[in-house]
Amino acid sequence: MLKYDYTNALIPDYGISQTDIDGIATKLNDARSEIFNVDIPLFENEGTVPTEKQPLDTAFIDLPEKLLNEYESKRNDSELGMIIECAANIRSNVDRAVILGIGGSYMGAKALMESCCEPYFNELPKSERGGVPRIYFEGNNVDNDASQGLLKLLRTKQGESVQDNDWAIVVISKSGGTTETAVALRQFLREFEATVGNEKIGDLVVPVTGVSGKLHELSTAIGCKHRFAVPDGVGGRFSVTSAVGLLPAAIMGLDVVAFLKSAVEMTQHFKSADIGSNCVMDYVAVNHLMEEKGADVRLLSVWAKSLECVGLWYDQLLAESLGKAEKGALPLTVVNSRDLHSRAQQHQEGKRDKLVNNLIVENWKADPLGVGQSENDQDRLNEIAEKTLPEIMTAAINGTNDAYKEDRRPTTDILMPSICEESVGQFFQMMMLATVLEGRLIGINPYGQPGVEKYKVNMNRYLGRS
């Protein structure tokens, strides 16, 4: 399991105390009980949902367990089985796949790719990618040059075989009406028809969408053979354990079963463990109490480059869920030790409005890379020649935490055993549960994003669309 250590946040005057945490234990337990004993039954029994709880999108909580149970009993006929089969078909027929989506419709998948796949994944030859296609993301902006650049790349011949040059599209949008993704689909579908062929749309263009709506209707009209649903009661930023995240992950060759099992483990841990040994509840307690003391900037300090997109995924989750009614912390992701050379001065001596949550990797994938001896020792590194990069990273983490502690700047540590499907799956579920728990604690509905809808309306008005 992931571990959460808040020892370095227990700082007199500038941090919190264990007494503070104990003092909100009852409120946290009540909020957890509300999630499991009120919210979930309300949704599942289709009862009358009170206005203050609308929308009520609790289905993400039990979704991993339901998908795994169905897979266990039905295998290829289950939704997860069909996702795995569809991904295998794409992997065997193309060397490039484009994921179209915005916000929660793509951020989880991109985080999974950057964390769990090999570094520089798309640059590796196919044999070193395990036969997995190169993965590209678009439809998350309306950047003319970025779109043109990817289209140019897709029409560039990659090899002699059909498989080398064909590519696939996975388009993700629950409504199908989000302008950025809809525009991208039209443009990339046009290129697909020209370079791959209209006759292959059925097999190589796969929508993940609602059971009705614009994208559902379009995918029927163009003859998509495979189509996966965004389940009812699963909002975009809570959808990474649905087909939204699972289909791209399976195309990448990741172990989606292990990913889902880890999410189930985190839910069971949250449901049963007591505060003090419950990483979800402890995280909410510390971050909430620090925000009440004025630390309304919540830094996720990731100590691995591959976790940057994991942090950006969390930024969106927290911002859209709790940034309402003039409440909610400002989430920011920093990558260390890289950003110690650009942001640390402010964090060390700037305003005391921040809590640093470190995300620390305990075991690296690759063998430790040593500094090594050199005859040219002008850099004076021979004195640490026997040290490795993991050892240097540990020194940077400890040194930074010590510096913050000396200046009475609170920090906490989320300890990730390794960067893999299991650990990342636990982290995703931990943060989704923590965000909902904090919303219930402070009286903010964590579901829905009314502010985002306003920009869409105004954007369409400027475009002359109804």
Q: Which residues are catalytic?
A: 320, 341, 456
Q: Which residue has the tokens 């991109």?
A: 110
Q: Are 408 and 14 in contact (CB under 8 A)?
A: yes
β-bridge partners, 98 = 136, 169
Phi/psi class of residue 223: alpha, beta or left (left: φ > 0; alpha: ψ in -120 to 50)?
left
> Rounded to the nearest 5°, which phi and psi values hold at 363?
-135, 125
Alpha carbon distance, N-terminus to C-terminus of the chain: 49
Q: Is the peptide bond before 55 cis (omega within 30 degrees of 0)?
A: yes
Q: Are 113 and 151 in contact (CB under 8 A)?
A: no
Extract the tokens encoding 16. 């919190």
Q: Are 366 and 307 in contact (CB under 8 A)?
A: no
Q: How many CB atoms lie within 10 A of CB 172?
A: 33
Q: Are 409 and 256 in contact (CB under 8 A)?
A: no
Half-sphere exposure of 80 (CA within 13 A, CB side): 22
Extract the tokens encoding 182. 């809809």
Q: Are 303 and 397 in contact (CB under 8 A)?
A: yes
Within 8 A by CB and 6+ apart from 347, the residues are 299, 354, 356, 404, 409
Q: Are 285 and 303 in contact (CB under 8 A)?
A: no
